[in-house]
Structures are given as structure tokens and as C-alpha cells.
Amino acid sequence: MIKSSFISLESPSKWKEALKGIKHSFAHTWENCYAMNLTTGYNTYLYCFEKDNIKILCPIAEREYNGYKDIVTPYGFSGFTGSEDYSDFKNHWKEFVEERNYVCGYISLNPVLQNSSYFFNKDSFSSASLYFIDLKLSLTELFENLDANRRRQIKNYRKIEASFVYDQKILADFFIDNYYNFLKRINASSINYFSKETLEYICSLENVFMVGAGENNKIEAVYIFGYTQYIGDCLFNISTFEGREYTTPLLWCGLKYFRSKKIPVMSLGGGSKNDDSIDKSKQRFGSYRLPFVNLKQVYNSNVYKKLCDEKGVDAFDRTGYFPEYRKN
């Protein structure tokens, strides 16, 4: 029997039950999607497809535009994840989105969980990469994989570690008090400007690990990690200008924490495009690179073209921002 359904944010226990036994990232969790909803206000749910022993899941947020709806994966690296290959899923997904009257969808895929049988290749685009560290390696091997500068920063780790702060309230206060000024300083994209409610909620979670550092009992940097049993994610890293020197030791602390919980892989994220400054910084941690694929799917071509024409953009060019009618 084939079943397509969705679980709303009002049913956290059902959401968590649906994810059991399916490899997933922090971005798939009810906690992350609820946190993102506190900023966006988008109607958000976990899409569930089931057939016999096959289960395929994806968190979805609905957005309105001029009386029409499109969909997007909530902030983070999630997308379709499932129990096994199933090439017919593409057709079931097409029926589902058409029944929901969506115009189009922007689905970001987590490279570690990506299954090409779940989508048409023509809908997939990639201009950037994400970086991952294999935590099944020994600490010695992980250290040797670092570039020379990162090894130098880690060499005195035990001495620096003695000054680390783990008090969640102290770290949350520093994080929230400094978050927006930090974004301005680094010219971060507007997508990173989460509400205070989102930041506070993330800092309160059990599946989040926080660590900070500084001198003279003053916090100067904090790193925040989210995780499931399958993947550890670097979520936030902010610091004062002087506190930048703590970034690498704090990341190493997160790496050690994930290894202690036997989490097999750590996601470092990536840059806006291949070989930009952020992308290159991830490479220096001895990580491996996987293409970051985004699905740009059009479900109602007539309405999609109408909205693009009204905005004066090319409805047939999907290589850039998508959906382009939403571009400011």
C-alpha cells in the first residue's frame, strides 16, 4: 500500500517517531524545523512517503506569493532521505505536489544522505560543495589530515581546553548578545538573520552542544553544534574580533565530542560557491568534499511562467536564484 502524508509541527512525537530508523541530520529534526518556524512563520511539516518497507522523508515549508504557494526545505542541510532506493518515488512526489497546488519547490539535499533515485537529474543544480570529516578515523589520523596552520593551532589544545566554558546559559547570553553585530561585521547574508526566539530555542536544546572560550572569565568566542546519531553539524560560530583565534580549538572540541558519542561524520558546511574564502577554510581541516545539490522543481509551468513574466525574469533559466520571481 502506498501512502503520502505529512506531519505538522503540532505533532512533535509523531515527527520524531517517523524519523526513527531513517538516517537524518539535525536539519530534519522537529527541533530545527520548529526553530526555523519561529523566524519564518511558514507552515512547516515533515512529508512522509511509505510503500511496504520503503520510507522516504523530507521537511517542507510552504511560502505564499501573490496568492500562490511554493515550497522550500527549512534552513539547514536536509532534503529527501529514505530507507532504500526507489525510482518510482519521483512520480509519487509529482502527484503529491500537484495535488497540493504548489507552483515550484526548492529542495536542498544533504550530500551524505542524498539518493539520486528520488529525483530527476534535470532538476538538480550545484555550484558549491559541503565539507565533511570522517570521525571513524583516529584522533592521530584526524590531526595529521589538518593543514600545517591548523595543526599549529591544535598543538596546544590541552592547554587551551582548560579555559573552555560549557555553561549553556553563559554561552547563550554571549551568543545572542553578539550574534547580530557579528553578522554585520562579516557581511552575512540576510538568510542568517534569525529571530531572537529562534536563537534562544536552539540554545536550549538537548541535541545541541555548545562550547566557548576567552580570557579573564570573559567569553570571546562560542561554537554551537547540532547532531543526530548519524551526523554532527557545525551550526554557528561567532566571536569578537579578538576571539577569532579560538575558532579552530573550539571546532576540535566539537569533533571530539561527536567522536565520544560515536557519531560517524561531522559536517562543516561550505561556502557560497566553490573555492571562495569560506570554502577554502573548510578544506584546511582535512575534510572531504561532496557537491551540494539543490533541486529546482517546477510543478505548474503555466503559473510559474506567469509569475516570472510579471516580475520580468526568464522562466526558462534555472541556473541562478530560484524561484527567480522571488528575487528582490
Q: Is there a single domain that holds both residue 179 and residue 255?
A: yes
Buried b (16+ CB within 10 A) or exposed e, 274-306: eeeebbebbbbbbbebbbbbbbbbbbbeebbeb
Q: Determine the pLDDT at residue 217.
A: 76
User: Does residue 230 lie within any of the structural domains?
Assistant: yes
Q: Determine the pLDDT at residue 65.
A: 97
Q: What is the pTM of this model?
A: 0.95
Q: Is there a single domain that holds both residue 8 and residue 118?
A: yes
Residue range of the domain that includes 143: 137-263
241 or 295, which is more confident:
295
- Expressed in angstroms, the distance from the first to the final Cα of the chain is 44
Q: Is there a single domain that holds both residue 78 and residue 117?
A: yes
CATH code assigned at 67:
3.40.630
User: Does residue 279 lie within any of the structural domains?
Assistant: no
277 or 16, which is more confident:
16
Q: Is there a single domain that holds both residue 25 and residue 72?
A: yes
Q: Is there a single domain that holds both residue 206 and residue 309?
A: no
Spatial CB neighbours of 321, under 8 Å, sequence gap ≥ 6: 327
Residue type, 219: I
Average pLDDT over residues 2-25: 95
Mean pLDDT rounded to a whole number for the chain: 94
Residue type, 55: K
Q: Could you give the percent of the chain with pLDDT greater than 70?
A: 99
Q: Determine the pLDDT at residue 290.
A: 95
pLDDT in tens, 55-102: 999 999 999 999 999 999 999 999 999 999 999 999 999 999 999 999
Winning range, highest mean pLDDT, from 125-129, 275-279, 295-299, 320-324: 295-299
Average pLDDT over residues 302-312: 96
Q: Is there a single domain that holds both residue 63 and residue 84?
A: yes
Name the domain count of the chain: 2
Q: Is there a single domain that holds both residue 255 and residue 309?
A: no
Q: Is there a single domain that holds both residue 307 and residue 204?
A: no
CATH code assigned at 170:
3.40.630.30
Q: Is the peptide bond before 264 cis (omega within 30 degrees of 0)?
A: no
pLDDT in tens, 123-161: 999 989 999 999 999 999 999 999 999 999 998 898 889
Q: Determine the pLDDT at residue 7.
A: 97
Question: In sequence order, what DSSP letters do the residues of 226-285 get, joined into one string?
Answer: EE-SS-EEEEEEEE-SGGGGGHHHHHHHHHHHHHHTT--EEEEE--SSTTSHHHHHHHTT
Question: Are β-strands 81-82 and 54-65 bridged in parallel, bridged antiparallel, or unpaired?
Answer: antiparallel
Q: Determine the pLDDT at residue 274.
A: 72
pLDDT in tens, 191-246: 999 999 999 999 999 999 999 998 877 999 999 999 999 999 999 999 998 899 99
Q: Is there a single domain that holds both residue 50 and residue 163?
A: no
* Boundary residue ending a domain (243, 263, 283): 263
Q: Is there a single domain that holds both residue 117 and residue 143?
A: no
* Boundary residue ending a domain (226, 245, 263): 263
User: Does residue 24 lie within any of the structural domains?
Assistant: yes
Q: Determine the pLDDT at residue 279.
A: 74
User: Does residue 284 lie within any of the structural domains?
Assistant: no
User: Does residue 189 lie within any of the structural domains?
Assistant: yes
Q: Determine the pLDDT at residue 284.
A: 86
Q: Determine the pLDDT at residue 280.
A: 79
Q: Which of 109-113, 201-205, 314-318, 324-328 has the lowest mean pLDDT?
A: 324-328
Average pLDDT over residues 46-55: 96
User: Does residue 114 lie within any of the structural domains?
Assistant: yes
User: Does residue 276 lie within any of the structural domains?
Assistant: no
Is the model's pLDDT at 120 over the cut of 80?
yes
Q: How far apart are CA 295 and CA 123, in angstroms?
A: 5
Q: Determine the pLDDT at residue 282.
A: 86
Q: Is there a single domain that holds both residue 218 and residue 308?
A: no
Q: Is there a single domain that holds both residue 50 and residue 27?
A: yes
Q: How far apart are CA 150 and CA 111, in angstroms?
A: 25
Indicate the pLDDT class of residue 327, thresholds 50, 70 and 90: confident
Q: Determine the pLDDT at residue 216.
A: 77
User: Does residue 278 lie within any of the structural domains?
Assistant: no
Indicate the pLDDT class of residue 272, thresholds 50, 70 and 90: low
Cell of 328: 528582490
